[in-house]
A and B are shown apart, each in its own frame.
Chain A
Amino acid sequence: GENVEQHPSTLSVQEGDSAVIKCTYSDSASNYFPWYKQELGKRPQLIIDIRSNVGEKKDQRIAVTLNKTAKHFSLHITETQPEDSAVYFCAAKSGGSYIPTFGRGTSLIVHP
């Protein structure tokens, strides 16, 4: 089955810096890669996703890049703000499965 590795497990940055979280996946059939943000005490919510026919997607300060050959994808957050502090989960899903496979999460801490 699919295996998703996520790094780092903890990331601490100063406000205004950029943050990058990386994930690798094992199943070449995976074609959908979402990122979820979970603030403390709240539910995970989708913040951005990318499909395998696209190499990069941006939404204001966040972007996701995908390298299908290397089987890795990354979340980039620019000009970080304290409200970006949260746990971020990556996931991968193939078209033949209903079930996404999640990474273990990255705790991002943005210091004011």
Chain B
Amino acid sequence: DVKVTQSSRYLVKRTGEKVFLECVQDMDHENMFWYRQDPGLGLRLIYFSYDVKMKEKGDIPEGYSVSREKKERFSLILESASTNQTSMYLCASMGGYEQYFGPGTRLTVT
């Protein structure tokens, strides 16, 4: 069974803080994704990585950066958190066609 885990289920941060969200997969998948999920807007791609140290911007990369130093780990970084980044963040990995999602991190920025 593919397992994708995320470092926190719930996170509360203050405006201006630097925030790290981590995602780990155990299936040696090359492709990993970070999505943001908001009601009525579906799953919006923030960043994508197809290999270690390789990344591509998704549809809404502004205010975010990513890091992939090891194949199994993909980190999302909010350099200076803002209230409009309050959302559910979902990580996913993909080896072939199917995406496997993590449980999500509910981030609240106050």
Hey, which bits of chain A sit against chain B, CB under 8 A? 6, 9, 32, 34, 36, 42-46, 49, 89, 93, 98-100, 102-105
Q: Which of B42, B99, B102 contacts A46 (CB 8 A)?
A: B99
- Distance in angstroms from B87 CB to nearest chain A CB is 15
Interface residues on B, range: 20 to 34
CB pair B97 A44 closer than 8 Å: no
| 12 pairs, CB–CB < 8 Å, chain A vs chain B | A6-B42, A9-B40, A34-B98, A43-B90, A43-B101, A43-B103, A44-B90, A44-B99, A89-B43, A98-B94, A100-B99, A105-B42
**Chain B facing A: main interface SS:** strand
CB pair B41 A104 closer than 8 Å: yes
For the complex, give the distance between the alpha carbons of A43 and B91 in Å.
10
Nearest B residue to A45, CB-CB? B101
Known contacts A34-B98, A104-B41; decide if A98 and B103 are in contact (CB<8 Å).
no
Hey, which bits of chain B sit against chain A, CB under 8 A? 4, 31, 33, 40-43, 45, 48, 50, 58, 90, 94, 97-99, 101-104
12 A-B pairs besides A46-B99, A99-B48 with CB distance below 8 A are A32-B97, A36-B101, A43-B103, A43-B104, A44-B90, A49-B98, A98-B50, A99-B33, A99-B58, A104-B40, A104-B41, A105-B43
CB pair B42 A104 closer than 8 Å: yes
- Distance in angstroms from B68 CB to nearest chain A CB is 14
- Distance in angstroms from A109 CB to nearest chain B CB is 15
- Distance in angstroms from B7 CB to nearest chain A CB is 15
CB pair A42 B94 closer than 8 Å: no
Nearest B residue to A90, CB-CB? B42
Nearest B residue to A102, CB-CB? B43
